Amino acid sequence: MVTQESLAHISQGETIGVLVVQSYNEQIIFSETDAQILKHVSHHVTTAIKRREAIEFKEAAHEMLEQKVQHRTQALKLEIEQRHLIEQKLKYSASHDALTSLPNRAYFLETLNKEIEKNKGNQH
């Protein structure tokens, strides 16, 4: 004859497992104390399972967040590069003729003023 004691692991109204203790020795009969010990052990097992699930959830959420951060960082880098290229094109357009691509009057005057200022410092 087999004697057994079992207790379901219930978490948030859902059965997540069953703890079963069996004895094939007819002389062993489980007592109320044995049932209380089984209940205590079952509670610890359920707590350990819930903790493991929480850790796995946290790790998955962290990984998902890391992926989002990497994706957003790449998008921002691309946006910065595009803005830099646009800025360079605008600077070029402001200082060069659209038809000939030669430096325009504004560029000439800016360059001339820079050279005059530079040479003022070199004169004694």
What are the tens digits of pLDDT across the range 31-86? 889 889 988 998 898 889 889 999 999 999 999 999 999 999 999 999 999 999 99
> What distance in Å separates the CA atoms of residue 45 and residue 97, rounded to the nearest whole number?
79
**Cβ(49)–Cβ(11) under 8 Å?**
yes
Choice among 4-8, 84-88, 115-119 with the minimum mean pLDDT? 4-8
Only one residue has tokens 């430096």, namely 103
> What distance in Å separates the CA atoms of residue 120 and residue 10, rounded to the nearest whole number?
88
pLDDT given at position 124: 60
Q: Element (H or E) spanning 10, and its range?
A: strand 3-11
Domain extents in the chain: 3-93
**Cβ(107)–Cβ(95) under 8 Å?**
yes
